[in-house]
Amino acid sequence: MSTFKNVFGAASSSRNLAPWPIPRYAAVQRQTKNGYVQVKYTWVAAGWHYEARWHSRVPTAQIITYPSWQLNRVHPGKGYGKDAAPRMAQTLVGDQWIATSRIRYLIQQAANNPTPAAQSFLRAVHPPAVVTYFPGNNH
């Protein structure tokens, strides 16, 4: 199994592999999961809480078979008063923000017998890292 160090080497290099900019002030968390490595960046901008996640190939994944990214954002809700608003959770797909609940539903549907359209959509949710080969990964 790969560790963060042999996947990225320098501590700050992973943000350079993202398909979108990640602010320098973003907090970074490195995790070794069950069979893969994940790096998570979190930050707040314009009232949204952002989370960008990179992970190496997940051994059990059937559609996303490459190191990939995902970008999510949450706008906290307010449950009372005249300016009450629901919590919003969205995932970036291409250049559009789509409700995260819809993404999760499609992932559940794709687990059984995914159509080519569902596979294409899920790949758009998980764009590949700029560099797709990392030393220490078994391909």
pLDDT, mean of residues 15-40: 91
| Distance of alpha carbon 138 from alpha carbon 117, whole angstroms | 29
Q: What percent of the chain has pLDDT over 70?
A: 83
Q: Which of 47-51, 59-63, 68-72 has the lowest mean pLDDT?
A: 59-63
pLDDT confidence band for 45 (50 / 70 / 90): very high
Sign of the dihedral defined by the CA atoms of residues 73, 16, 69, 56, in that order? negative
